Structure 1
């Protein structure tokens, strides 16, 4: 990892150097906070914990753990959030404390059903000096989920017994949820995974990037190139950038999602030396290895999607469903007559029901 930049005013999120012998999931800092958007909360903690990059390097990560005021299910739900940005104060654990988290409603639904909820911020988002966020790097995202579950189990040891975990997410969060499920047997075999719910899963980056390019979601493509370049820093992926792109990548690495979408709606070719950077041999290799649906998942999986999804095509979810079927995964599929955001809302209740059952 490169040397961290100076931390912001909140010392809790300041970078902590950790050694290779530090156990993944070890709590490095913890503090009790209030979460004004949420109801039926017993306690909430912001947590900084140890995890691993895509390449296995030790690094700190942050997240939040929330216990319900009602009788607990003795199970922890790792809620995997949507894309919040590449940097700045936009991590879910910060926004929940500020009372401005856009996905607070989904967290509330889980708390109402008795789940203890953990929300990972994602690698290099939240903890200062490590950015930009490793956006779309599946293995890194999986590690932050699995290690937050480990940290939460230690945190809750004296309060309640958490005997199993489940993963839930939508869009980018759905991608994180299935990557965490696929990595769990190898990376965290001691965890008991009881179920996965994942909507509008971004399973195949190479087919998605051309679809987003040049439209209102182009900024997601640029953010993906930035995030993956950080995750695979040993490969000179940034060589595809032109001079304008090199400048703008530095700027974009500190911006939230809304600003990125507004500021970077040009095709990727505007920032790169070629109009189709996803076909660069180095990028082709990276994107091919960032595909979900290649590993067996030990727990039941619920996949859902919207037929009118203009960001992630429903066909991508159907392909993932077929891959899991071929691997022998216990998987089901539900497609709603709705848009990307509409299916997220409509499918939430069924997802919670299935995970709880």
Structure 2
């Protein structure tokens, strides 16, 4: 496993979605997964620079058909900032929740799961948690790379219809992928997305969670965004103890972060409200601002009314905004908490995705083949 995730540098002439490494593997805990491949592919970071990203692609079968097998890019919720918490690794050890993936495989769909920027490949961390543009680009480029796998291409006569599915920060990545679709990857046959408990405003999340049971997420958000915007001096708000904490925390999983860091973020900062620092206000505003283009495909949003991790107002506000902008959007609330909503919603979400796949393909622009990753900003 270590050799496959060994560090590498992606040259500037590599195109987004291009396969760099591929290795056949087996997901033993998914009995219907007849074929699976770990891959490393090219994507773009928050500044449009090319980066390597790892992920896994799982297929229920290889039999050719008269129509392409649908592709679901499933972006899971926050796993951590480093260590052995990349989804493509946890799927092989049995530590990754399987309900959503199994539900998609049961439909005969191919499922692609991104690790996310800097999570998986050795030495690139920490993961850029809450950096939305990078998450959207990683999602779209995984859709490109999945269809470049020889066995997937051979079993599909033409381009596969694609749907996106994500929860919490994974839902954030799916939403931004839909907003970036026509600009960044217009050649993809995207049919729709489902996104639950979407984090729309990281600044609001930090302010609401910095003293609650999920306060470690504020530290993770500071670390992730400071890595995404590494050209800015974002760690200047930390004390010496804070810098030491960050160096340790950026290698931890989500469970380890929640277990080891139970003090408010300001405990490690030079001011009680680090999110009000001028540079941090700039970053948080940039990350909360919706992309200029509304999704051109249908969107299903859902949220738990008793969600204490991502307040229901976050997803509800996005639903209201999308309706105002003319997006074909639906909304469902579940009378439960953050974690139960993730599981209780599965059958309904899969039904929505199936409906999206049953619609006629929308018109798409040509592949921007002559554009480099730095042009796609």
Shorter-chain TM-score tier: over 0.9
Match of 2:54 in 1: 62
Q: Take 1:66 and 1:331, find their aligned partners in 2: how far apart are those partners?
A: 28
Deviation at 1:278, TM superposition (A): 1.2
Would the aligned equivalents of 1:193 and 1:298 in 2 still touch at CA under 8 Å? no
SS at match of 1:132: coil
The structure 2 residue matched to 1:145, chosen from 139, 153, 156, is: 139
CA shift in 2, pair 1:115/1:253, >3 Å:
same
Match of 1:203 in 2: 200
Alignment of 1:214-233 (within 5 A): 214-233=211-230
Match of 1:157 in 2: 153
Match of 1:113 in 2: 107
Deviation at 1:81, TM superposition (A): 0.9
Match of 1:257 in 2: 254
Match of 1:290 in 2: 287
TM-score under structure 2 normalisation?
A: 0.90
> Is 1:128 equivalent to 2:131 in the alignment?
no
The structure 2 residue matched to 1:330, chosen from 322, 328, 331, is: 328
- Dislocated runs of 4+, deviation >4 Å: 70-73
The structure 2 residue matched to 1:31, chosen from 20, 23, 36, is: 23
Match of 2:38 in 1: 46
Q: Specify every segment of 5 or more residues in structure 2 that has no aligned partner in the other structure, as ranges.
A: 356-377
Q: Take 1:307 and 1:39, find their aligned partners in 2: how far apart are those partners?
A: 34
Deviation at 1:70, TM superposition (A): 8.6
Deviation at 1:29, TM superposition (A): 0.6
Q: Take 1:352 and 1:33, find their aligned partners in 2: how far apart are those partners?
A: 26
Match of 1:309 in 2: 307
Would the aligned equivalents of 1:215 and 1:266 in 2 still touch at CA under 8 Å? no
> Is 1:11 equivalent to 2:7 in the alignment?
no
Match of 1:6 in 2: none
Q: Take 2:10 and 2:171, find their aligned partners in 1: how far apart are those partners?
A: 29
Deviation at 1:104, TM superposition (A): 1.4
TM-score under structure 1 normalisation?
A: 0.95
Deviation at 1:293, TM superposition (A): 4.1
SS at match of 1:178: helix
Q: Specify every segment of 5 or more residues in structure 1 that has no aligned partner in the other structure, as ranges.
A: 1-8
Q: Deviations over 1:182-219 (max 9, x none)?
A: 11111111111101000110111111111110221111
Would the aligned equivalents of 1:37 and 1:100 in 2 still touch at CA under 8 Å? no
Aligned length: 348
Deviation at 1:289, TM superposition (A): 1.1
SS at match of 1:109: helix
Match of 2:359 in 1: none
The structure 2 residue matched to 1:353, chosen from 334, 351, 354, is: 351
Match of 1:5 in 2: none
Deviation at 1:42, TM superposition (A): 2.0
Q: Take 2:161 and 2:127, find their aligned partners in 1: how far apart are those partners?
A: 28
Deviation at 1:69, TM superposition (A): 3.2
Would the aligned equivalents of 2:118 and 2:127 in 1 still touch at CA under 8 Å? yes
Q: Take 2:324 and 2:85, find their aligned partners in 1: how far apart are those partners?
A: 38
Deviation at 1:163, TM superposition (A): 2.0
The structure 1 residue matched to 2:78, chosen from 51, 76, 83, is: 83
Deviation at 1:321, TM superposition (A): 0.4
Q: Take 1:315 and 1:59, find their aligned partners in 2: how far apart are those partners?
A: 34
Q: Take 1:344 and 1:131, find their aligned partners in 2: how far apart are those partners?
A: 27
